[in-house]
Amino acid sequence: NFILTQPHSVSGSPGKTVTISCTRSSGGIDDNYVQWYQQRPGSSPTILIYEDDQRASGVPDRFSGSIDSSSNSASLSISGLKTEDEADYYCQSYEASNPTWVFGGGTKLTVL
C-alpha cells in the first residue's frame, strides 16, 4: 500500500493564499482520485474537494484542488484566507486492486 505525506503545518495571513501538498509514495497520483477534507476542532471531517478538483456542494471557490504527476502529488489551495479556515486538512485516496482507503497524516492550518 502507498502512503500519502502532508506537511504537519502551514500558516498564512488573512487574505493570502496557502497551498497544502499531499505526496503519494508509490504508484501514480493519478491512479486514483484524491479527496480533501476539512476538520474543525471538535467536529467530524467534512468533504471539501473530491475527484482531485471538484468542489463539494457549498464549498466556496476559494478552495481548489489539483494534481501534479511530475511531483506525484496533489495540492489543496486556499485563497483569500479567513480566520475561519483555521482547521486540520486531510487528503485521502484509494487503492482499487484490493479495496483500501488511505488518508494523509493531516496538515494544521494556522491563519495568523
Partner 1 sequence: QVQLQESGPGLVKPSETLSLMCTVSAYSISNDYYWGWIRQSPAKGLEWIGSLDHRGNYYYNPSLKGRVTISADMSKNQFSLKMTSVTAADTALYYCARIGGHFGPWGQGALVTVSS
Binding-site ranges for partner 1 (CB under 8 A): 1, 33, 35, 37, 44-47, 50-51, 56, 90, 92, 98-106
How near is the Cβ of 15 to partner 1 at its closest, in Å?
Answer: 29
Question: How many angstroms separate the CA atoms of 62 and 59, rounded?
Answer: 8
Task: Identify which of residues 50 and 66 has a Cβ nearer to partner 1 in the complex.
Answer: 50
Task: Identify which of residues 46 and 110 has a Cβ nearer to partner 1 in the complex.
Answer: 46
Do 23 and 71 meet the contact criterion of CB atoms below 8 Å apart? yes
Task: Identify which of residues 58 and 83 has a Cβ nearer to partner 1 in the complex.
Answer: 58
Q: What angle do CA 24, 110, 47 make, to 5 degrees?
A: 55
How near is the Cβ of 13 to partner 1 at its closest, in Å?
Answer: 26
Q: What angle do CA 31, 92, 109 make, to 5 degrees?
A: 130
